[in-house]
Structure formats: structure tokens, C-alpha cells
Structure 1
Amino acid sequence: MTKEALIEAENVVVEFGEHRVLHGLTLTIHAGEVVCLIGGSGSGKTTSLRAMLGLVTPTRGTIRVLGVDLMHADEAERTKVARQMGMLFQHSALLGGLTTEENVALPLTQRGDLTPDMIRSLARTRLAQVGLGDAVTNYPRELSGGMQKRAALARAVVHEPRLVFCDEPSSGLDPATVVAIDELMVRLRDDIGAALVVVTHHPASVKRIADRVVLLRNGTVAADGSVAAVRALGDPWIDGFFSEDVAPPSHGLNMAEALGLVAARGAAA
């Protein structure tokens, strides 16, 4: 049985002035799968993520997310979609003035249909699942980088979204913590049944978590398949990517966009 298509991008073109970033991107994401987006600098990974999140309006083409055409959606339809999304940012984007529990509770707090006790219970349950049950009153500055990433992951899934977007989840972490974050992402995916769209430069993570690998090149899909299938293509860039032991640095959604999306998602919820 074919799983439900949660994201359907068809011939998506994104231009900024005279600069074209996406050149007819066509991509489908199905329920319950982990899809890793890979590609070199300027290949269109981050712009693709922004387009799927509704942060960038394509010049032409169609993007349907959870059945809603984002190109023609009204505010109510966009709100409905936003309620069913979660986001794990490259730099976690925890709010420094809030405790770990308060950060994780943000998507729930602004919904308006849950009691404080229910919110507290749900937030603490997710924190316990990511190994931060004893850090509920800590502030982000009191957490290590790996702990911040785990807290951000808990926030991304606390409201049980159908789609979770992860922007460079391995960035800046030591190898052992990367493995732990990868395992947590898959475990939480299995728990809530969400699809994960992961932008990453980390080959070991792709091998561990990907159901599908999508290679973007020049703003379009150059390869799409399982890890084994794309490695069998003999593409020089893919061969080089999987031969790397250390992931190169990358630039994803910046902090201003991160905080803005957290706030927008909370307001929409």
C-alpha cells in the first residue's frame, strides 16, 4: 500500500530577482519516512526547506503540504498546516529567557485548548523521552550543545506533528552525540508516525536514518532513492559525500528566521 503523500512539489521554481535557486523541483514526501536532502553549497537544499515550510513563495510551480496548495492558501489554511509541522533548527533556537520545560511547551502553550497541568505533563514526557527529565528547570545557557539539541527535538515533536523538518541536526556536535540525536529522531518518528525531512551534510547520519536520499544539484533533483540505490549510481559527488568521515560546515536557516518560525508556529497553534 502506498503511503499518504504529505508533501507534493511539482516543477517548483524559486527566483530572487534575476537569480534562480530552484529550477523545476519535483519531489514527494510520504507519511512515516525519513528523507535526507543532500547536495553541495548552492544546490537548493535550504531554499527547498523554506519553500516546504511556506517561508518562500515559489515563482511558479505547485507545493501541496498536507493537501493544501501553499501557493493559493488563505490564512486559515496556512494556520491548519502550521499546526501539523515541527521544526528542529540547526542552532536549536531555544529562547534564553525560558526554562527547558517552557521552551518545549511553546507549541502547546499558545494553542489555547490545554490546561497548564496538561501542558506541563506533555512537555515533561517529551523531555524524559530525550533524556532531559532532570533538566526541566534549566535555562539553555546551562545546557550543553547536545542537550540543547535534544530539547529542541522535544519541542519539535511535543504537539505530535505530521511533518518534522530538521535543518542540519548534527551541526556542531561530537560523534557520540550525533549518534544519539539520530537515534532519538528515528525513535520519536516511530512514536508519533511523522515524516522527517532532514537537510544534512553528515554522511554517517544519512546512512543511519534515511529511508530515502534526495540529491539536489543546480536547484533540481539529481538522484532520489535508498542509500544503497543512490550509492550504486556511480555519481562522483555522491561517492565523495559518502567517503567523507567529517561533514563540512554548512549554513541553514539563520537565527532570525528560526525565532520567527517558532513564534509563527506557536501563534498558528
Structure 2
Amino acid sequence: MIIDIHTHIGLASDFNLSEEDVLYSMKAYNIDYSIISNIDAVEYYPDLTEIPIEMQKSQFECLNDCIKIARKNPNKLGVAFWFKPHTERLTQEIKDTVKANLDIIKALKLHPYYSKTSTDSPEVEEYLRFAEELNLPIIIHTGGCKEAEPITVYNAAKKFPKVKFIMAHMGLGSDNSKAIKLISSLPNLYGDTAWVPIKSAISLIKNSSSEKLFFGSDNPIDGKDTYLHNKTGDRSLYQEYFNELKELISENDYNNIMYKNALRVFNLPFNI
């Protein structure tokens, strides 16, 4: 079994991440279940200039787009609610929608880069309290700007010890060592494998535990065959997770990363 906790739909910032590509890739590469979030919830362009508010899509619209897709594929897709702390507050409408769909909403999602708002900022606290209330984990992009530094996730995790925080990418563009050290230091801090070399995954296992890491990919960021190759046609690093990694770690550690941790932390609809 393989569960991918980090996939996307949406068209923002020149991306074209379609429901069809997610489902195609899952079938083609034997992914049993994926958690989707909606990249249309971005608040800043990639160059970190703010998107005019009239050109943004509301977090309510983005959430409902995900819910509709997951409802069509309830045994294949779950939802991570990508919230917008820079421009929006946590409304009663959002709270009611999340609570009414907890069978498919499995997490919250924060992108500090595309919101230019750090995890430990006051604007995020109401969302963290909501995650705590519902016992939902939160997936957080790390890397690329000061607001997305791993230490900001650590700070929030210390303040909210009952919330499970997942450092997506474990510091994108770094050697992952800072994130690994922080993840190893708190029981409610985790990482995912999106664009993370397998040597870093092995380092986290050695320094902490295989129970602190989830398989995640950013699929379909490089198209419907993201799991096979990147945009230039080079072999995807996810092929190493599907093949080489299982020869380098124990079967139990491998299964923890690829699906068991996700079943446990995200309360997924499988009996294994």
C-alpha cells in the first residue's frame, strides 16, 4: 500500500494540477490514497508580490472544490484544507463546512511561502486552535523564504503540543539537516518526503524514528507522470522511494513511511 499525503489540484501561478492527472497517476503508479489541497488558495505570486484580492479565490471556494472532487472518489481521495491567513479569517461558514465533511477532510494545509505568513504568527493561531479542536494534523510547506523556515513550525509545535505538525519538504532546497534535528526534538513534529532525497529519509529514521515521516510528493507538479520523471524527462526521485529505499531500511520502517503512519495520524478509511 502507498498513501501520498501531499498532492494538489488547481490552476494558480501557471500550474495546471488537474483532478484527472491525480487520478491517472494514482492508478498508473499504484497509489492507493492521496490527500489533495487546492493551490488556488495562494495569496502571493512566486516572486512574493501580493496577488490583488479581487484576483484571489476565497478559501471557502477552494475548500469546496476539493470536497466535490473527494466526494466523487471517497475511497481514493481525502482533503487538506488550504487556508489563507494573510487575507482571510476563520469564519463560522468555514468551521461548519469542515465539521460537516470530516469523513473526507483529513488535515489543514498552510503554505507560508505563498501566504508570506509564518506558522508561528498570530494570524495562524485561530487555525491551529481549530486543528486542535478537531484533532486534525496540519501540513506546512517549509523552505524558500524566512516565513517558511522549519524553526517557525517548531515554535508553533511547542505552543500547540496537541497538534501534529508535518514539515512538508523538510526545508525545501536545503540538506534537510535543520528540519531533521527539529523533528527529532518534539513528539508532535513530523516530515514528509516531497522532493526529499532518500538519504535524508534514512537520516531521519536514524536520528528519530520511521514513525515521524510520511510519503508525500507534490503530485502532479511535474505532470501526470510526476512519480516517474520530472519535466525534463529525468528519473523521478520518487522511483527511489518505490524501489531502492525498501532495500536500504527494514520492512517495518518502509511500511511506516509509505502508509502506516498516514493511516494512524490522518484517521484514514482503511483497516490494515
Q: Is TM > 0.5 for Structure 1 vs Structure 2?
A: no
More strand by share: 1
TM-score by length of 1: 0.37
**RCO higher in structure (CA 8 A, sep ≥6):** 1
